[in-house]
Amino acid sequence: MSVLPVVLWPDARLKQVCAPVAGEDMAALAADMLDTMYAAPGRGLAGPQVGVMRRIFVMDAGWKQGTPSPRICLDPVITPLGDDLATMEEGCLSIPDRPVRMTRPARVRLDYTDETGTARSIELSGAEAAIAQHEADHLDGRLIIDDQPEPFPA
């Protein structure tokens, strides 16, 4: 396992829509992505952030608080649950030192395939929901700065 270089904004790959994984073996890449995420140190990392234009992301909402729970998500689909919204400050490993306040659905269902090929469906809230939505946005070429009128004040 190794730490991969993180693609930084304004690299054009960060604005591309990723192709499905569709059953390919992504175990080695996922392990490298987890190593990279922990080394960064972040709580989520998507394929395009390491130059892999596939629908894969890794996340671990609790490791910084001492409760690691890594999740590898292949071909994820996010579905909002309810109308409640939550606003949180989000950072991005590809846009270092530029946090943005984001408003997103407070609860979501995350459907994905894990690294063993098993289909999973879980409900997420709080930081986990925000992280999953942030990483899924990367797979669709969306960044936290896209809706900001002036993302980088002088």
Q: What is the pLDDT of residues 31-40, one digit of tens each?
A: 999 999 999 9
Residue 2 belongs to some domain of the structure:
no
Residue 120 belongs to some domain of the structure:
yes
Q: Are strands 56-59 and 44-46 parallel, antiparallel or unpaired?
A: antiparallel
Residue 4 belongs to some domain of the structure:
no
| Residue-number span of the structural domain to which 132 is assigned | 12-139
**What's the gap between Cα 99 and its chain centre?**
15
Residue 3 belongs to some domain of the structure:
no
CB neighbours of residue 36 within 10 Å:
21
Alpha helix segments (H runs only) across 1-151: 27-39, 126-139
**What's the gap between Cα 37 and its chain centre?**
10
Residues labelled catalytic = 135
Residues (pLDDT < 70) of the chain are: 148-154
Q: Give, in order, the Cα–Cα distances in Å from 123 to each of 81, 92, 112, 129, 147.
A: 8, 23, 12, 8, 26
Residue 96 belongs to some domain of the structure:
yes
Alpha helix segments (H runs only) across the chain: 27-39, 126-139
For the chain, what is the domain count?
Answer: 1
CATH classification of the domain holding 111 = 3.90.45.10
Could you tell me the pTM of the whole model?
0.93
Residue 147 belongs to some domain of the structure:
no
95-114, pLDDT tens digit by residue?
Answer: 999 999 999 999 999 999 99
